[in-house]
Amino acid sequence: MSATAKPLANTRNGTGIPTARLITWWVIASEIVIFGGLLASYVMHRIGHPEWAEAASHTNTWAGAFNTFVLLTSSLCAVLAHKAADAHDGPRAAKLLRLTSLGGLIFLCVKGFEWTADIHEGFVLSSGGFWSFYYTLAGLHGLHVLAGMIIMLIVAADAAKNEELQRVECIGLYWHFVDIVWIFLFPLLYIAR
């Protein structure tokens, strides 16, 4: 590799945006279509089936609200980690990223308790249209939370050594998007009845 060779993809900046951030935006764009399609399908079916209101009344609004609070708080930690990374304070960024991950873990635990209660009451994936959408939407979102947590812990391990700090913002962008998806899932699944 010569001295004039291009830097690694995550430090290249051919479009005015560092490539790592550019890729994150593309991921978010594709996620908009994935979650948007599912949400749009749910909304049109929900409007077509007013009787789903009865099924929706069994979801636990307080658990949903608590999880919204947890995700909003974890988003705050993620953006503060970005601020710390901008100040080249890797150890602080790592600490905040781990706190963000902890928020994700709390979110998933609450979801686990909630689903256990639903299943004990007899509401499973095949219990009806509403429950199919409920488990699919919340399940897909939960998988994104889990993926974000794992990636965040990997990024935090490097950030703690003041390495690859540009990744802190990228994982933060992804996490905020996951937060936005939940901001819409909460009223759709827990409030609109």
Partner 1 sequence: MTTEAQAQPHVQHPNYVKVWAILVALLVVSVAGSMTHIREVVLVAAFGVAVVKAYLVAKNFMHITVEKRWVPYLLIVCLLFVFILFAGVAPDVMRHSGLHWTNPSANQASQPAGEGAKRE
| Positions that interact with partner 1 (CB under 8 A) | 6-7, 11-18, 25-26, 28-30, 32-33, 36-37, 39-41, 43-45, 47-51, 61, 65, 68-69, 72-73, 75-76, 78-80, 82-83, 86, 129, 166, 172-173, 176-177, 179-180, 183-184, 186-187, 191-193
What is the C-alpha separation between 163 and 108, in angstroms, rounded?
29
Q: What's the closest the beta carbon of residue 82 comes to partner 1, in angstroms?
A: 8
CB of 136 to partner 1, least distance (A): 16
> Shortest distance, CB of residue 116 to partner 1, whole angstroms?
23
C-alpha–C-alpha distance, residues 89 and 8, integer Å: 23
Rounded to an integer, what distance in angstroms lies between the CA atom of residue 121 and that of residue 56? Answer: 13
- Closest contact distance (angstroms) between CB of 94 and partner 1 is 18
- Separation between Cα atoms, residue 12 and residue 54, nearest integer Å: 53
- CA–CA separation, 22 and 35 (whole Å): 20
Q: Is the dihedral of CA 112, 114, 117, 123 positive or negative?
A: negative
The least CB distance from residue 61 to partner 1, in Å, is 7
Choice between 115 and 184, CB closer to partner 1? 184
Which residue type, as a one-letter code, is found at position 132?
Answer: S
CB nearer to partner 1: pick between 130 and 135 = 130
> 16: Cβ–Cβ under 8 A, 6 or more apart, which residues?
none
